[in-house]
Amino acid sequence: MKASMVMLCLMLGVALAAGPTDTPVTNDIVNDVNPAAAGRMPCGSFTTTDDPPDTAWTKTVTMTYTVGVTPVQDTLMWVSAGQTELRIYIYNIGDPARPLVDSFPETGGPSGWGIRDMAWKASTNEVFAGYDNQSFHVYDATTHIPNHTYTVSGYSGTVRGFAYDPAQDSCLTCNFTTLPMTKFSIAGANGHQVKAAADMISSYGIAWSPLQNCFWVGQAGAAGASPIYKMDQNYAWVDSFNPVGWDLAGGCEMWRDTCLLVVEQGTPDIVWCFSFAPVGVEESSKIQVGSSHMAYPTLARDLVHINYSLSKAARVNLGIYDASGALVRTLVDGAVGPGSRTATWNRTDDSGRRVASGTYAYRLSVDGKSVSGKTVVLP
């Protein structure tokens, strides 16, 4: 896997709001996995169209009933646990040791297996968190208090999987093969089927990848035979991978655009971080990531900041390209000294015209070796 890459740094505002105070809840021990459910096995074999991702790291967690995961604010990871625990645990994944730094109780409705899958909305600094009775909380990611609780219209069961699509400001959920994959607004309105329940294998977690323009779906089927599936933007299964030593999945979510976090429900429970290389990336030992300045996601309306650092002086070319591969704007072309640099694109072409919304790629070449990535320009 190509390890070197450049990430876009997009400055997004944070809006915080007060919510209800914590309230006590009760819970009963139940079996969240039904081995007898229809379709609880791999839905078929695919010709692998993508290289399997590398395993960047794993984190063994101390909870027994781990179910959901989402990155928050770039360097934090929320992990939910149900049954006798009913808490959300927070890890610092910006630290190579990935220590536990905080936790808080799941309150205001969740019981039994509690909060299932989760997803972070960067622009408002909120976490969507699904649970039983077609319900989900919207947590303030700083105060850990639910700002809102909604129910999903047109849906009648557990909000198990949870994906958030920032380009459409919409959400999706699934529940094994019990219910269809359903799309709905961030307040639960306009719920409608996008993929039939019978076609959902034993889907547990859903993650939307804006960079790859696809969904990743974790399944909780047969232990050791539950691949992680790739679903395209038209909701068709297109690929899968089954990591060595993998058991079965809980929740999943993208982190820093190119990494997929997935809960492995096993003994013990483990969070895996799978790393995908950006399309067209070539390795260059001279290009290094400045992780302390990265922000998620790669969405912009006006300015895009591209951070890079050089270990020594080099000839640098940095260009922005449209979806057809045509050069839109040259940001850097010439000799650059060593150190950290930031190039800013103001959403104009080389003639000064503002470009249309859509997906754009950047390519940074250093002494002939390149890294590349994508950003989505919003209307």
Backbone φ and ψ for 149, nearest 5 degrees, come out as -130, 130
> Around Cβ 36, how many Cβ atoms within 10 Å?
5
Of 194 and 305, which is predicted with more confidence? 194
Q: How confident is residue 139, by pLDDT bands cut at 50, 70 and 90?
A: very high
- SS3 of 116-163: the string is CCEEEECCCCEEEEEECCCEEEEEECCCCCEEEEEECCCCCCCCCCCE
Q: Are 160 and 150 in contact (CB under 8 A)?
A: no
Determine the pLDDT at residue 47: 41
What DSSP line would sit under 8-67, residue for residue? EE----------PPP------------TTSTT-S--------SPPPEEEEEEE-S-SSEE
φ and ψ at 250, to 5 degrees?
Answer: -110, -135
Segment 255-262 mean pLDDT: 88
Mean pLDDT of 110-128: 94
Q: By CB neighbour count within 10 A (0-12 exposed, 13-18 middle, 19+ buried), where does 235 fall?
A: middle
pLDDT of residue 295: 27
> Cβ contacts of residue 370 below 8 Å, gap of 6+?
280, 281, 282, 284, 363, 364
Confidence of residue 330 (pLDDT cuts 50, 70, 90): very high
Round the average pLDDT of the chain to a whole number and report it.
Answer: 78
Instruction: Supply the pLDDT for residue 291.
Output: 32
pLDDT tens digits, residue range 71-107? 998 899 999 999 999 999 999 998 989 999 999 999 9
Arithmetic mean of pLDDT, 127-141: 97
More confident residue, 29 or 157: 157
CATH class (in words) of the domain with range 40-275:
mainly beta
DSSP type of residue 355: P
pLDDT higher than 60, residue 261: yes
Sheet strand arrangement including 299-300: 299-300, 369-377, 358-366, 314-321, 327-336
Q: Give the per-residue pLDDT at 64.
A: 86
Q: Which residues contact 168 (CB under 8 A, 6 or more apart)?
A: none
- What is the pLDDT, as a whole number, of residue 277? 54
Among residues 310, 306, 256, the alpha carbon closest in space to that of 288 is found at 310
pLDDT at 126 over 80: yes
Question: How far apart, in Å, are the Cα atoms of 213 and each of 167, 259, 279, 311, 349?
Answer: 11, 14, 12, 33, 24
- 132 neighbors 158 (Cβ within 8 angstroms): yes
Residue 342 has a pLDDT of 79
Alpha carbon distance 254, 256 (integer Å) = 7
**Interacting residues of 343 by C-beta distance below 8 A, sequence separation 6+:** 305, 306, 308, 318, 331, 332
Q: What is the pLDDT of residues 274-313, one digit of tens each?
A: 887 543 333 333 344 333 233 234 556 777 877 777 778 8
Task: Indicate whether 329 pLDDT > 90.
Answer: yes
- Does this model's pTM top 0.85? no
Domain boundaries defined on the chain: 1-30+278-379, 40-275
26 has a pLDDT exceeding 80: no
- Cis peptide bond prior to 166, omega within 30° of 0: no
Q: What is the pLDDT of residues 227-246, one digit of tens each?
A: 888 898 889 888 888 877 88
- CA dihedral (88, 65, 242, 218) in degrees, to 10, reads -60
Instruction: Give the pLDDT score at 345.
Output: 86
Q: Which whole-number Å values give the CA distances from 257 to 253, 273, 337, 364, in the listed order? A: 10, 12, 29, 18
Which CATH class, in words, describes the domain spanning 1-30+278-379? Answer: mainly beta
> pLDDT value at position 299?
59
Is residue 132 predicted with pLDDT exceeding 80? yes
